[in-house]
Amino acid sequence: MSQSPQSALPVFRYAIRADLPAIVALLADDEKGKTRENFTNPLPDVYGNAFDAMEATSTDALPNKYLLAIMDEQIVGCLQLTLIPGLSRQGRLRAQIEGVRVSSNYRGQKIGEAMILHAVNIARDLGASLMQFTTDKTRADAHRFYQRLGFVASHEGMKREL
Amino acid sequence: MSQSPQSALPVFRYAIRADLPAIVALLADDEKGKTRENFTNPLPDVYGNAFDAMEATSTDALPNKYLLAIMDEQIVGCLQLTLIPGLSRQGRLRAQIEGVRVSSNYRGQKIGEAMILHAVNIARDLGASLMQFTTDKTRADAHRFYQRLGFVASHEGMKREL
């Protein structure tokens, strides 16, 4: 099967509000996400409200935005990229990712890898010196994927429901 | 030895720029922090710049601020509290903590516990339904401390230097 040049490499852009249904569809297209999200038409207001809250604290220099991977004119991948300034480690700027998803129809094409590396480049350009995230301990495949991309499971990711 | 009522319970407030030397002193008053920070007089500009960056993305409703514990008119504890809006889990608002420290002169008085619980209350009042952080896997004492406070090490904390 031949592959057209368009489908070989994704392009990337930040999400706008109109992308919300496609993003929530991706978030729900996941073993854990399918029970955690509420992907209905129209979309529940909680998603739009959360998008507005992200915008409220996001700047060009310190984004808290969803990065989208586009192929075949479709949104095929997403991740939330948050730049978090802080004082520790001599005022180190941290980049954090969350909600990493690739459409089940597009897995196995290294889209996730390209998306993570694109986020790494954005973060580095903005002055971050560390990228971090937490991933459920049951997601063994995900851990191997991230280890191949240079991530180290050096920390415990601790959570508490409030 | 009797304990005065003033020293029994810390009070809490958010940090202002003038607190920076005391905060950096606390960050450095730690097994790992002592080699990671640069606590000099005057303080290196990186800390002030990082404080300004925190302010730039911080709002009352979605803070990214240092919370301080005060006892005996001294800053005896600190933690960075960051509220992170996002789309996953139905637009769940997350609270994240970082740089948790209690002065070595004030340990064993449950100041850390009071500080975490105060941060939990702030986060809950602001609408967060989850608190999260990563902690180095070598900090076994810290893990037990957080587990007693209801945190679960359900996730891997993965990091990559950029």
ipTM, two decimals: 0.93
Distances, alpha carbon A94 to alpha carbons B53, B92, B150, in Å: 12, 21, 26
CB contact under 8 A, A87 and B64: no
Phi-psi domain of B100 (left: phi exceeds 0; alpha: psi -120 through 50; beta: other): beta
Candidates B117, B72, B162, B143; CA nearest to A125 is B162
Taking the C-alpha atoms of residue B31 and residue B34, their distance in angstroms, rounded to an integer, is 6
CB contact under 8 A, A53 and B85: yes
Instruction: Please tell me which of the candidates B91, B95, B151 has its beta carbon nearest to residue A49.
Output: B91
- Which residue in chain A is spatially nearest to B132 when comparing CA positions? A159
Cα torsion B141, B142, B148, B151: sign: negative
CB contact under 8 A, B49 and A136: no
Angle, vertex CA B134, rays to CA B133 and CA B137, nearest 5? 150
Candidates B25, B53, B38; CA nearest to A84 is B53
pLDDT value at residue A8? 76
- Listed in sequence order, the residues at least 6 apart from A13 whose beta carbon sits closer than 8 Å to its beta carbon are A67, A68, A70
Task: Give the position of tokens 């994704």.
Answer: A10
pLDDT value at residue B1? 45
pLDDT value at residue A152? 98
Q: What is the pLDDT of residues A67-116, one digit of tens each?
A: 999 999 999 999 999 999 999 999 999 999 999 999 999 999 999 999 99
| Backbone φ, ψ for residue B148 (5° rounding) | -60, -30
Distances, alpha carbon B148 to alpha carbons A67, B113, B115, B117, B142, in Å: 37, 9, 14, 12, 10
> Model pTM?
0.94
List of chain B residues whose C-beta atoms are within 8 Å of the C-beta of residue A123: 162
- Which residue in chain B is spatially nearest to A20 when comparing CA positions? B87
Number of H helices, E strands in chain B: 7, 6
